[in-house]
A and B are shown apart, each in its own frame.
Chain A
């Protein structure tokens, strides 16, 4: 690394801690997701050993896609450990630490969530071998969409790593940078997990009623899209914290207000993300049993998600008050 001499130790320290957090937390979600897929595959093989080859194939492909979130975390961790940051100021230390937090937290939900479609597809193949191709395709779509919150986290982490904060005042900008990291990172947990619930239920639904694949996939995608909203709120607050200029203030309260803004939307997004995923899971599961009422189920899901979303909106409003008013 080639850093400004005065701040080199603290920047290096932050980058190493950030890298450790990014990879450590990033591995947790994918491991749980892959473990779930493997466990369901075991059950599927014991139920229908004759098609164990198809089940293992599906498990292999599902696990390969499911671990994308933790590979994002690996990329960020390596960047944090080896990136050259020439002439970086002390704010870079906060930015690199925030980047590690953002990617580490952000990979958890997507890692766990993308294990659900993999596991349920294996289970579905054992019940309905004729629908193997449809189940694998649906599993991959669901699993890929689950990665979106982790991608948001990676984008914010990259911005924190590469943006130049040289002209900004150290106080309170350091708190804004860490707040930007935790806002997207934490909010992504719920959205990733919730999206996985919807994708998992869709595989179960297709196995139950293969002809319902069109309705099931459509409702899954709509449900997943709405489940991503809390992580978009997190992303929005992160962008405000990254791009807004804050007047210099050595008062601790000014810094804490910006950190709290990130924490508010971050924590506030976890529950609604999971709740939205549960609403989508229910709609997807039941539309496979009753395709004639797909429209009614979609409307019920959307209304339920809108209400579940309200707490994330409250959290975002508090964040914006903390940023612009306090």
Chain B
């Protein structure tokens, strides 16, 4: 489980840094509600990612049907938490809804960006 903690720490910290940077840029540019929305979404994206790791031990060592049932329960629980920033953004005017929706994908964006970044030298090398 040390490997999981290491992976979670790596992507969670990067997602938070990315969220803070994007939010700061937007706030300094005068888009305060957008920046706050991205930050709010990013925080809950990280919480969701940490919870995925926390539920992994419940999946391990079970049959496919049991793993599917545990995943379904885990999704419902985590999505109830993910819904929280979206509800706040939808009901109030302090946070932009679209920016909050983008923010809750921050971990996924960081994971895909990291691997896309790694591929660039390989593509350049292949072409040369």
Instruction: Report whether B104 and A64 are in contact in the complex, using a CB–CB cutoff of 8 Å.
Output: no
* Given A56-B1, A61-B7, A65-B108, A42 contacting B67 (CB threshold 8 A): yes
Q: Is the CB of A39 within 8 A of B7?
A: no
Is A67 among interface residues, defined by CB-CB distance under 8 A?
yes
**Contact call A31/B86, Cβ cutoff below 8 A:** no
Chain B residue contacts of A53, Cβ below 8 A: 2-4
Q: Find out whether the CB atom of B75 lies under 8 angstroms from the CB atom of A75.
A: no
Question: How many Å from the CB of A103 to the closest CB on chain B?
Answer: 13
Query: Do B90 and A78 touch (CB < 8 A)?
Result: yes
Interface centre among B6, B71, B87, B108 (most CB of A within 10 A): B71
- B86 contacts A64, CB within 8 Å? no
B79 near A27 with CB under 8 A, answer yes
Contact with A along B39-62 (1 / 0, CB 8 A): 000000000010011001001111
- A74 and B67 within 8 A (CB): no
Residue interface bits B63-99, CB-to-A below 8 A is 1, else 0: 1100111111011100100110011001100000100
Report whether B71 and A71 are in contact in the complex, using a CB–CB cutoff of 8 Å: no
Q: A38-B71, A56-B1 are in contact. Are A83 and B90 (CB under 8 A)?
A: yes
22 A-B pairs in the complex with CB atoms less than 8 angstroms apart: A23-B79, A27-B76, A30-B71, A31-B68, A31-B75, A34-B71, A34-B74, A38-B59, A38-B67, A38-B68, A41-B60, A57-B4, A60-B4, A60-B7, A61-B111, A65-B111, A71-B104, A71-B105, A77-B83, A79-B90, A137-B115, A137-B119
